[in-house]
Amino acid sequence: MAQGNLYILSAPSGAGKSSLISALLDKEQGKNRMVSVSHTTRQPRPGEVDGVHYHFVSVAEFETLIEQGAFLEYAKVFGGNYYGTSLPAIEKNLAQGIDVFLDIDWQGARQIREKVRSVKSIFILPPSLSELERRLIGRGQDSAEVIADRMAKAKAEISHYDEYDYVIINDNFEQALVDLQSILRAEKLTLGYQKQENQRLIHELLAK
């Protein structure tokens, strides 16, 4: 069995990254694919379940895990909360042939590229800044001040798009989903993956 692939997906808030991942997993149920569940020290929000949305841990527990080298990447964000990706969990799932998606920003992506050469990264772009702002307003979740802050951060995030292997412009959602599926399919057709997955067949075809 071939090892699973590790994917990084990044995008500014409102570009549709989370929706694309959810739609992909829903449409391709039965395939070995999952979204990595991060560790965090922030408190659970209403409706969030430990182990499903995040692994909620104390600051002391998180810092102990840092000392043990248990994170593939981690960061302390505004507000003082830690967020991190568990290295043992990633390695276990990849070894079982499961494709793992990491929903992280460009800073986390840089950390991971330094440690995992085989990781593939995908950046989701909005069709325009005006459309991005329209989507953020349409959510009805944030104040005008928060939306303005998200828009400012979006420009900073977008400036790192050229550090990624693939870029998808989410103008039409269905087409963006097809583009994402095409990337995953192409990665299954690489020489390295096929040599692992079809080792017996290749051996038989080359046998005298």
Model confidence at 37: pLDDT above 80? yes
Average pLDDT, the chain: 93
Q: Which residues, 6 or more positions from 208, have their beta carbon under 8 angstroms from its beta carbon?
A: none
- Name the residue ranges covered by the structural domains of the chain: 6-206
Report the pLDDT averaged over residues 55-81. 93
- What is the tens place of the pLDDT at every residue in 126-136? 999 999 999 99
**CA 130 to CA 142: how far, in whole Å?**
16
**Above 90 in pLDDT, residue 140?**
no
Q: Taking residues 98-110, report their average pLDDT.
A: 93
Region 145-149: mean pLDDT is 89
pLDDT at 146: 87
Q: Classify domain 6-206 at the CATH class level.
A: alpha beta
Q: What is the DSSP string of the chain?
A: -PPPPEEEEE--TTSSHHHHHHHHHHHTTTSSEEE---EE-SPPPTT--BTTTBEE--HHHHHHHHHTT-EEEEEE-TTS-EEEEEHHHHHHHHHTT-EEEEE--HHHHHHHHHH-TT-EEEEEE-S-HHHHHHHHHHH--S-HHHHHHHHHHHHHHHTTGGGSSEEEE-SSHHHHHHHHHHHHHHHTTSHHHHHHHTHHHHHHHH--
- Burial (Cβ within 10 Å: 0-12, 13-18, ≥19) of residue 61: middle
